[in-house]
Structure 1
């Protein structure tokens, strides 16, 4: 007996040309073709952004696939599944019927399913005298077989893009770490930045150029944006490395004791370059002041919390930051890069305490170009601290929340 294959949806649902196109594609299903239903489902999950379906819609598709008894979907077999809404809802983790209908419509519109509606809209199968199914009314899985290559190609492209994005992020991270540590080395070792009248005037300019590039990184950067930023950082890293290499070569060529002695003196942490006006007469220009009794409790915030709020300071640490001693030593380097004068630094340490002042420096570094004058900003906070109007906790929490928001939107 010849049977008519239903092509229009039941009730008020309208037939769209996209539905007809899906039916045309499904009718060309090669009988010899076989696909693994869970492998193609995995590919569809990966390609989900391009298909315009949500995770909940895919959970409905997953439930529908469980009603097909075989793992293999073939080109010659009957691929219509006909569960009731109650059965389908149970396998979709108790999804309400109204929500279920909405996601089924999404799957049909996306070309993943074909409706085979019965005259009364119910889903069932008509069997022959031998018990075999002659005609089934429900959802046809044929598009999954016919379009399997398309779904797999989409999935491969998305995975390749994700890998490329990950590599770009890794490249940016590595360049940032290299540049930060090379700048710190240049300052500590007293490496000149000018060669034959060319190049930046001092390491503060180098650091500002570095931070200006980092500030352009969007919260949700695309691969193309990250690759362009990585190229800029890579070029800057090469330029800084060239400065350091030239300095090493010049030092090796000169065997004089005086040059060696100067090199050793410049390698001391206390000889950091001053980037703001020098201290009053009688104080060593590059000497870090000894901390005075603080108005705040030292170490009142966990180091992990501080590093979560100010992760950029880790880039400048020689061997990472595993304790407060590492943090304080790194903050001393960063304050010089930011252009904070020894006098402003001494005053902040006196009022806030050594640890609190170092945390503030980490916060200033994290905010980047949002603060035009790091030294002036620190002095302003010091004045507030003297008046009892400054609290570090809200600043740390604001930066932690900002980073969490960036991760959620990435």
Structure 2
């Protein structure tokens, strides 16, 4: 009985991926560069040829191990490559634990003597490969999101510097901001920065933007002037802005010709491919809705998750700025099933304050006890279309959200 049970037990892992061998090859191709050691592209093509030479039934039969019995010289000849190259491919695949080579002393392979290229190692690590692919995809999405966050911070910092220059703020402080801004890596260089370093850079970029906003606030208070520097969100961004004092347009290039300052940010109106401002309105420094409601109340209208994001920037909600709310709203995009690129696209159709409020409202209404938003992405797209048609009623939506919060507070 024990012998019969052992004979009936599965001896080899089987392929359970939907899509079969084709899906398995797609998985290997997706994670090839993450394997250690990583096989070359030619080795992966060789793997595909060897898998194609196996019996399909062996991949789903626990009593059989998929195997390629074709001789290396024979396959190499069919591929039109030297046999030594093919053997090098096999060695790479074996080192990556994708195959196991069992050959006779002379390198021969035969079904009758149990020699050939076996794929048990590959089947045994399918779960690990799936986990590697999932982690790589998560890191790719996080990297794209952080690049978008840097784009937002750069746009707001550049505008804040322009405002400081126009208002005649201390040139030393502005020069320091410009110098730090110009030291930032270009949009293209961001793609080559590891995720951990990029996250740290974005945090520093956002902190520098908040520092510039504090300088604006301090300057306005010291000059007893109203916060009247907010530009219309429909202003033509190609307009030339006059600079006052010693800090003119040349500040962006720190006195050097553009071609000699490749690591610095380009002059206003000539930003990198990833961070273009074409069609994207200049950001406002202070939002009209925050003026009306106050940051404390707007904070209270946000979802608990968005409130946590906002509190990362300070413990006092009453001191939150429009930039804080924009950063927090952008960070909610992945949780609403929205790609980072949509923020830039939709910021061309409405002001970033309006886009932030649409995100805040959509995110908050997901937990509405009576009419919860089931499809946040679809709801957001509907609000964007309403804005294009001129029927978007943010005030009404905020009033409704406020009434719901008041009801919750009473209970």
Q: TM-score when scaled to structure 2?
A: 0.49
Higher relative contact order, chain-length normalized (CA < 8 Å, sep 6+): 1
User: Greater CA radius of gyration, 1 or 2?
Assistant: 1
Q: TM-score when scaled to structure 1?
A: 0.49
